[in-house]
Amino acid sequence: MVTQCVPGLVCGSVLITRAAGHAIIAGSLSAGKTPDRTEWNHGLVFSARLIVCVSFFNHPISKSPDDGGRTEILHRTIKTNRKQENYDSLEKLTSGKNPSKSEKYSKAANSFSEYQRRNEMVYIRGGEFNMGTNEPIFVADGEGPARKVTLEDFYLDVYEVSNSEFEIFVNSTGIKTEAELFGDSFVFESLLSKETKSGITQAVAAAPWWLPVKECDWRRPAGPDSSVKGSMDHPVVHVSWNDAVAYCEWAGKRLPTEAEWEFACRDGLQGRLFPWGNKLNPHGEHRVNIWQGKFPEKDTGEDGYIGTAPVTAFPSSTFGLHNMIGNVWEWTSDWWDTKHLTESTHNPTGPASGTDKVKKGGSYLCHQSYCYRYRCAARSQNTPDSSAGNLGFRCAASTLPEFNLLIPAAMGPDKYRTTGFDS
């Protein structure tokens, strides 16, 4: 047996044995965190049998070792390819020689589709609220302290962006996602077929249930032998922060700030864990798609779903939003930081720069014993180029995009729902 530790780490006492000779990628993956692509690309491969190393630090150790510039070159190559293959497509939407972005979107959005597609937004009246918590579960994540934040009015998508919506975007622009450009993405082990698993020889040491799968992307969420056909109303996954930004810009929208996302999640309540209160299943009713059973051995699917659920699943919040917690993690626009101003702030947008982006809401892989991050105040992070089978997004807007219509919704006199189409 080979025992190896990474510099800066302390060896623990948990032995990991991977079947089929899987190698283990060492890292400082914290409980419930999706693997980072940047971390993976450093290629810290160790023996298939080793002592798990536990990090002293909150930051991923893979960002500090010198890899001879291989990762930097890889990222530069990907960004160059992205410019060549993707940027021109977006430019065509806004150039003077072509229809405007909203006109192009409207044409695409109203074209024939065999799937029901939605593009609804909710108007959310801004105001002051307590962001964060003074009773953090994961202190190192920067969940606290609670602080006063004031927001302007904004709009937020009723639903997470679905496969059907993302398909229209891809077909209209010709864009390739970063998972497609890199050639792989991360998938939870139990969602893979035996055939796909048999060809995988690496895993993430701190979370060996995360496997890097070749030819895995939004169209093939569980590898080359999978498809989104039959789940077009589920949230799109395997989309990086960069992919999400490209979609939002094309749609005339943007990603929500972390503050906007949390304000919307809290649904007008102060100091509550979930959008509806502090009880996870009020009156025995499931309201969120998370992991039931013992993690990671078996998800019993008591909420009706194993893996993602349709974006329309479960009752909406008072604001009219679906699946603000659970189902899939949602990207925000903010750079990650665990230090926060304690004085009141107005429309905070996070740090000016950083290495990771904030994601909120938790996912179908979250369980209280492992990843209790399906709380409004909870947060996590990934590098902007990271993608996984539990990572998606929804869009926000400061003003209503031209292609949407504002219509009243049964959510009170100050709340409205917008809709672009239903085909």
> What is Dmax (Cα atoms) for the chain?
67
Q: Check residue 123 and give its pLDDT.
A: 95
pLDDT at 181 exceeding the cut of 90: yes
Q: Any idea which fold 107-176+233-419 has?
A: paralog of FGE (formylglycine-generating enzyme) (3.90.1580)
Backbone angles phi, psi at 127, to 5 degrees: 155, -170
Give the tens place of pLDDT for each residue, 261-310: 999 999 989 889 999 989 999 989 999 999 999 999 999 999 999 999 99
pLDDT tier for residue 161 given thresholds of 50, 70 and 90: very high
Range scoring the smallest mean pLDDT among 142-151, 282-291, 413-422 = 413-422
pLDDT at 1 exceeding the cut of 80: no
Domain boundaries, the chain: 107-176+233-419
Task: Report which of 242, 233, 248, 303 is spatially closest to residue 83, judged by C-alpha positions.
Answer: 242
Q: Check residue 314 and give its pLDDT.
A: 96
What is the pLDDT of the chain when averaged over all its residues? 78
Q: Check residue 98 and give its pLDDT.
A: 44
Give the tens place of pLDDT for each residue, 49-74: 222 222 222 333 233 333 344 334 34
Give the tens place of pLDDT for each residue, 355-384: 999 999 999 999 998 899 999 999 999 999
Opening angle at CA 321, ends 319 and 327, nearest 5: 150
Contacts of 254 (CB under 8 A, 6+ apart): 245, 248, 333, 395, 396, 397, 398
